[in-house]
Amino acid sequence: MDVVGMYPTWYVPNIGTAWVMGIIGVIHVVASHTAVGAAFLFAFLETKAYQENAPQLLNFIKKYGMFLLVFSYIIGSITGPGIWYAISVASPRGVGGLIHNFVWIWAAEWVFFTVEVIGVYALIYLLGKIDAKTHLKLTWSFALASWGTMLLIVGILSFMLWPGNENWYQTGSTNDAFFNLNFFAHLGIRTGSMLVIATLVGLMVASTEKELALKASVVKFLAPIGLGGGFFAVMMFLYYIRTIPDNSVEMLHAHLLPVYEYAMIAVFIAATLYLSFAWWQPKYLSTPLAIGMFLFISIFGVWPEERIRESMRKPYVVGQYVYSNQIISRDVPGKNITGEVDKIAKKGLLALHPFIPQRLRVITDNNRLEVGKLLATIACSNCHALEPGAPLRNIPDKLHRATDADMIAAFLTGALRHGAQPYMPRIDLPEAEIQAIAHYLAAVNQGQNVKRLIVEQRAAAIKMQVAN
């Protein structure tokens, strides 16, 4: 049988799988960046405590460490597997591509992660129980292992945007995939922002400290690290946007910065003012202020960052060869992969997709609507919600609620068929499939009860079958 290796499409109404992934991802990023950043804050603080013979600083490490264990490690390790589940059903072929490149990188990351988790328990438990110098070595090992997990995952995430040159497509080598064009810039952004997030959490913990001298010395120590991290992250972001492909530049300027630019600037200014204030007047740092600023900066800073990073990859989900709708866009000789767009143009998704129900493989008047819905779900719903008014760039609104099927079909046979939009896949389908999608989208835009119509048409089709 002639097939393309597609899986069933998982679609979440209104928000799509993209936002499911985004929401889990943001929580995970906040938790994991806190953990990695805090590891370095501990190492810096403990070094200072050791050099200046100021053992009271260790009490703060203990307190912050307990907070980390209860929040970051639990939330981080719940959301980590959550991301795996979500991406496996949202983008099975994207995940497949990553596994074929990076399975040993993930194995290595798991080793570092094990060291990190054992490290954090050992570090807190052994504080004051073993000699200071040995403990300091333990803390630095914990910090480096934590950063190792970040470094390894960044290689994978930045490959998702693109390898940055032709080599990888020819060689398929993990090395070419991992050390891609934007690896260092991306690592820099995350390293800077982990220090900011860990500092914000550190200030929450410090704000509860009753002993004012200790509180002041800790805050005065942390605030400049957060400021430096923030400045470094911004510099690295400016470098990062010089390492991205043309489709991402277009997406960034036409669709993302107009929405998120002011939020990002506001977050940067708020964080700078807050950390400067805390540095200058640590005694006025109250817990509600610290919690409020943490929530504000982590939500309004991390959501745009993750949203931009994910959306900028459009139309691809991995390595500029797997489209978000799971279709392979080009040949990758290094991995024995061949592009599928032309084949689908010739034979159609209905014939080639292995999970199309048999009764929908041939379009009739009685199933056109249902086929149209299914094809729109397969071809478009990874990036677009199908319901009018829905938050994930819904198609009805993008079509200005056009009710004329011919007009919609003209868009599909024009821009989409020729891949004229840099942020959308080339979706080239046989005429009958395009008509079905257009028919369905027009029915949605006309405000028809599509669900009920589909049920009625199925009933009619069954009746006809029985009559025959």
Closer to ligand HEC by CB, 223 or 437: give it: 437
Burial of 463 (0-12, 13-18, 19+ CB in 10 A): exposed
Closer to ligand HEC by CB, 94 or 315: give it: 315
Out of 167, 413, 421, 457, the residue judged to bind ligand HEC by CB under 6 A: 421
Out of 215, 314, 373, 439, the residue judged to bind ligand HEC by CB under 6 A: 314
324 binds ligand HEC (CB under 6 A): yes
Task: Round to whole Å and give the CA distance between 198 and 193.
Answer: 8
Q: For the stretch 126-164, what's the b/e string if a residue is b when 16 or more beta carbons lie within 10 angstroms of its beta carbon?
A: ebeeeeeeebbebbbbbbbbbbbbbbbbbbbbbbbbbbb
Size of the residue set binding ligand HEC (CB under 6 A): 24
Q: How many CA atoms lie within 13 A of 62 on its CB side?
A: 12
Q: Answer for the pair 124, 69: CB distance below 8 angstroms, yes or no.
A: yes
CB 241 to ligand HEC: min, Å: 17
Closer to ligand HEC by CB, 205 or 441: give it: 441
Helix, strand, or coil (residue 425): coil
Stretch that binds ligand HEC, among 85-93, 178-186, 408-416, 444-452 (CB under 6 A): 408-416
Burial of 83 (0-12, 13-18, 19+ CB in 10 A): middle
Out of 45, 161, 194, 383, the residue judged to bind ligand HEC by CB under 6 A: 383
CB 256 to ligand HEC: min, Å: 8
Closer to ligand HEC by CB, 89 or 132: give it: 89
212: tokens are 């004012």
395 binds ligand HEC (CB under 6 A): yes
Q: Answer for the pair 340, 4: CB distance below 8 angstroms, yes or no.
A: yes
Out of 28, 307, 373, 384, the residue judged to bind ligand HEC by CB under 6 A: 384
380 binds ligand HEC (CB under 6 A): yes
Find out whether the peptide bond into 282 is cis, omega within 30 degrees of 0: no
CB 254 to ligand HEC: min, Å: 8
Stretch that binds ligand HEC, among 59-67, 114-122, 231-239, 374-382 (CB under 6 A): 374-382
Helix, strand, or coil (residue 41): helix
Q: Scan for tokens 């200071």, then name that residue.
A: 132
427 binds ligand HEC (CB under 6 A): yes
Q: Scan for tokens 């991406």, then name that residue.
A: 87
399 binds ligand HEC (CB under 6 A): yes
CA 229 to chain centre: 22
Out of 105, 323, 326, 445, the residue judged to bind ligand HEC by CB under 6 A: 323
Chain contacts with ligand HEC (rule: CB under 6 A): 255, 314-315, 323-325, 379-380, 382-384, 393, 395, 398-399, 411, 415-416, 421, 423-425, 427, 437
